[in-house]
Structure 1
Amino acid sequence: MTGILPGAPLARIGGPATERAVCVLAPNPSPMTLDGTNTWIVAEPGSDQAVVIDPGPLDEGHLRAVVRTVEEAGRRVALTLLTHGHADHAEGAGRFAELTGTPVRALDPAHRLGDEGLHHGDVITVGGLELRVVGTPGHTSDSFSFHLVADGAILTGDTLLGRGTTMVAHPDGRLGDYLDSLRRLRALAAGHGVVTVLPGHGPVLGDALGAVDFYLAHRANRLAQVETAVEAGHRTPAQVVAQVYADVDRALWPAAELSVRAQLEYLDEHGLI
């Protein structure tokens, strides 16, 4: 869950990342959130409208900083989107909607404000900007990514991070779904012009294909390690974590245990343990 993705050029955290995307970093750093949550503002050049993705935690200063960044560019917030419902991405959405008067679209009705949800394959157009909605469940069941076609970029929430790897948040998250989502992202990177990853945490990645391949290799390696640990007699999730994640900061072991539970479930479903 730590380390720099190999072969992936990094951009700084915060500020402009592509022609259409600007990051405002939330002040909530932690072992789980890395430098903090990346709140993304995306807009078509010359447009007076913007879309905000993941307002972040319920932090008044941060939410107002996002509004101020939009307004200083001569724009207004027209729509808010959520990559998923975890609090570090979505807790501030209700207050942000109050500040901006905008609807909030998400898969989970509990996080929506307005009549419209999100579905894989949706195309969102605001002020000439086009975002394509990509279903990427696995980290959570409600996880989405957003394909910013004109910039060759994908906003990935927690499905791909800018540094290290993400967890599969069992029982809501499922490893089989997550692997399918990584393959879906790989197809976008390999055949549909996606070069840049705009993650929910950590720096921008300039090699989307390399990042996805690293994640797929990492997941395969961890799965093999978990299978070997079980065969060696480590039966409980805590025992497997201590064996397989011994090189990981203990502060991350609770998250690692969720991923281990998801891996054990996956191995059991496929008759491998």
Structure 2
Amino acid sequence: MSDEPGEALQHPAYGQLRPVTGTASVLLCDNPGLLTLEGTNTWVLRGPGSDASVIVDPGPDDDAHIERLAALGPIPLVLISHKHDDHTGAIDKLVDRTGAVVRSVGSGFLRGLGGPLADGEVIEAAGLRITVLATPGHTADSVSFLVDDPRGEQSGAVLTADTVLGRGTTVIDKEDGSLGAYLDSLQRLHGLPRRTVLPGHGPELADSREVTAMYLAHRHERLDQVRAALRELGEDASARQVVEHVYTDVDEKLWDAAEWSVQAQLDYLRT
């Protein structure tokens, strides 16, 4: 891993470790899709002078991707942002190859003796200080990670996984997502000093405050549109009816996913 961001590689760069900040590089998995955008970003964190790396979200069960990660050198720790398989499917194979400890919010992905992640916890590994920030909403177990630049040359980065994406906006999980919790998480991220956003999908973003302000404005605009739709369609309108009324600016291929978010909006407005 280079100590400095590279100029040559652009997003997407499949199968190539692409430096983004002085301490973070991304290995993009070749699993593009409607919900994964160009694919899942696996983040590789390493402080100056360290020969070990912390991996954030090892990605899906993709042998080529896993082998590239295992070849990076010592991996003492893997951190999981949330439960979705495109971020977690590689866990067991990567642990088999590296012996890494795996930590997450829930117990389902824990490997080794690290224990569950806790909000506000500071992790020291690979020459870095990484702070856990609970950001539920996309899923109940979603967390972000703050990485400070140990050299003090920049304000640091925030790894947002699917809470803030590199392009587009986030779907609220139909099983345990919550729009109320998501709005609170966006406000929490917005309150941070400006940081580089390292998302779970899509390219990095330069200004966390700018993008979270945009996300909040978009969510409140959608809520206003849903309120207007309910006035026109009736208060008992279904999520699908609202999608077809409101999401005319979105490709119909995404309407099923949009329906999850609309149901979350309806639950939010009806409580």
* Length-normalised TM-score, structure 2: 0.90
Aligned to 1:20: 23
On the 8 A contact 2:128/2:148 being kept in 1, the answer is: no
Aligned to 1:204: 204
Shift of 1:249: 1.2
Determine whether 1:44 maps to 2:12. no
Aligned to 1:123: 122
User: Does the residue aligned with 1:204 lie in a helix, a strand or coil?
Assistant: coil
Paired residue for 1:53, among 49, 53, 56? 56
Aligned to 2:185: 181
On the 8 A contact 1:169/1:259 being kept in 2, the answer is: yes
Aligned to 1:248: 250
User: Does the residue aligned with 2:53 lie in a helix, a strand or coil?
Assistant: strand
Determine whether 1:149 maps to 2:148. yes
Paired residue for 1:86, among 78, 84, 105? 84
Q: Pairwise CA RMSD of aligned residues?
A: 1.2
Higher relative contact order (CA 8 A, sep 6+): 1
Per-residue Cα deviation, 1:141-183 (whole angstroms, up to 9, x for no partner): 0000000121510000000000110111134000000000000
Cα distance in 2 between the residues matched to 1:141 and 1:256: 18
Shift of 1:103: 1.2
Shift of 1:131: 0.4
Cα distance in 2 between the residues matched to 1:215 and 1:209: 10
Cα distance in 2 between the residues matched to 1:171 and 1:61: 30
User: Does the residue aligned with 1:77 lie in a helix, a strand or coil?
Assistant: coil
Aligned to 1:7: none
Aligned to 2:3: none
Cα distance in 1 between the residues matched to 2:133 and 2:12: 24
Identity %: 46
Paired residue for 1:65, among 58, 68, 71? 68
On the 8 A contact 2:158/2:197 being kept in 1, the answer is: yes
Determine whether 1:112 maps to 2:110. yes
On the 8 A contact 1:13/1:204 being kept in 2, the answer is: no
Cα distance in 2 between the residues matched to 1:92 and 1:250: 31
1:215-230 equivalences under 5 Å are 215-230=215-230
Cα distance in 2 between the residues matched to 1:240 and 1:127: 48
Shift of 1:67: 2.0
Amino acid at match of 1:33: T
On the 8 A contact 1:13/1:23 being kept in 2, the answer is: no
| Alignment size in residue pairs | 250
Q: Mind listing any 5+ residue stretches in structure 2 that lack a counterpart?
A: 1-9
More helix by share: 1
Per-residue Cα deviation, 1:233-264 (whole angstroms, up to 9, x for no partner): 15011100111111111221111111011000
Shift of 1:45: 1.1
Cα distance in 2 between the residues matched to 1:13 and 1:113: 30
Q: Mind listing any 5+ residue stretches in structure 1 that lack a counterpart?
A: 1-10
Shift of 1:13: 4.0
Amino acid at match of 2:131: R
Shift of 1:36: 0.2
Cα distance in 1 between the residues matched to 2:119 and 2:197: 19
Shift of 1:31: 1.2
Amino acid at match of 2:171: M
Shift of 1:228: 0.9
